[in-house]
Structure 1
């Protein structure tokens, strides 16, 4: 091992082999002493890489691991396009040949800081000034689109028997997220939405409110998942979990008349405008897409003048009202397909009245017991 000065660069270069593999590059150091320290550190990284690769018998370059993750499971995610975008973002940041063994806690922390500097994306053309005025992505977005995606790559590699002595500390890297709020739809807001509703979108939004399903679960609902005979909707939900939702009389009333409108998907809309490029014909029915549903919701909310209510709040509204009527947290957990009941506990505030009533009853019973003792004495 030795370092050397290249006339074309002010920095010392390193070039060595370890178990038949060559490692070389710039040390970014201008003194031999610092360059030798840098080379020694690179040797340790090389040893870790060779050892990890030998055990896993697969390339640990981030691009290769991402490719295996995609083929193994990521392509079947609830939103594979988002997963693909997130993986591509990490590959672009680290470089496709970057081995996972060289991504330690510091490197991952720098990646998190880089991702935090991104701004949310909005549809439509904007000037540079308008783009800079957009808000930064939230902590939750950074966690979901960067840190947890990188962790998923490490998890796959470890399942392939790779070892990472300098694996990032994931708990430390995850940014704090505020507790998700629970927003309930008020009666007057519901009436305003009904009044502003387009008739072709009415079944879709009625089903959203009646089922508490996520937007993606609603727009991708297929007829093969709807069984009127068994009175059930059976499909895969978030995380690939099997979800069974009952077809109540109210839900049947929404879905049954929609048969025949589309051969595969349940919910459709009527095209108001034609588009030669996309071959959309005015007056014809087409399946409601995810982006179409988002656009329709934004228009509906604006026309109804309903503020501070997101589409996902329909799910919170459903969970809150269901718990208020049933008083059963386990039932609500199953209806919302929550893996952990901690997610369901966000709706527990609706039971505050029950708690207050129980405390009052306990106080009354104790008071009665004390008075009975006094009478006896």
Structure 2
């Protein structure tokens, strides 16, 4: 137990600098609200880094009396981590390590509280099963990616997907069910807020089969103030870089004009045209969007996504000049999540050709027709 009475002024300053949360690295729990009951109470401990007596944890004959009442030497901790550093694993918690934890925590709180109050953003999530994979999109795991440009408007997400769905993309009811859920949830949970201007900015996180992502993009169209996040494998993050990366998108136009027209999007992988003609027939005009080296993690920056948005908008215009407005454009996508959403966002329902979207499905050994957008 501390032999020193810490001044109230120091305690108040520490509470402010810590945000009232445990400063132990990776903890961050609120010390003034129970996580389960949400009831308010004080569970905070003011812990010395260098003990206030030479015989205490990390104590020192010279430092202990000098630092006993110094803000720089006191951490705010929960009961568990207070006991951990002072009783259970004292040797593993050096003065240097604890100072690093304190510094990291207080700098993070400072960054968050310095955000402009007009920079709030609603976190919108959408997920659907991809093959046997069930994506997990939790508020606690996503909120960090808003910083420092935005902060969450609510301590929860607006979820547009179907929770704990047993359906897989090989099931006959999958596409119809997911489309209905997406439409209903968008109208009930998001669209009214947009119309009432209760939402000024959206941070969108999604993980679903490509056709559903494209459909999602048509709902959150290019009129909305929105940032689309992209899961990146290396380095592992959801946040596209602000660094300018110039991506050279290649457009390959067909040499013959047939009544049937398709768009091959080979960005995350290469789609050979014979995979398309095996479905649509040989008399098919195929436009292709590709990059030099397609792979699933090519999209790293916001500039690459913006360049894609421009090029796909221009390509839609180019294709519809050569075909009747009612002609279906068959879309075969191999593309990152954010680009699929962006394709849906730039598509204009009153001006562009209707879309028929295909999805690669291992169960059926190739692409299958899934949904129509018109």
- TM-score, normalising length: structure 1: 0.27
* TM-score normalized by the length of structure 2: 0.28
The structure with the largest strand share of the pair is 2
Larger radius of gyration: 1
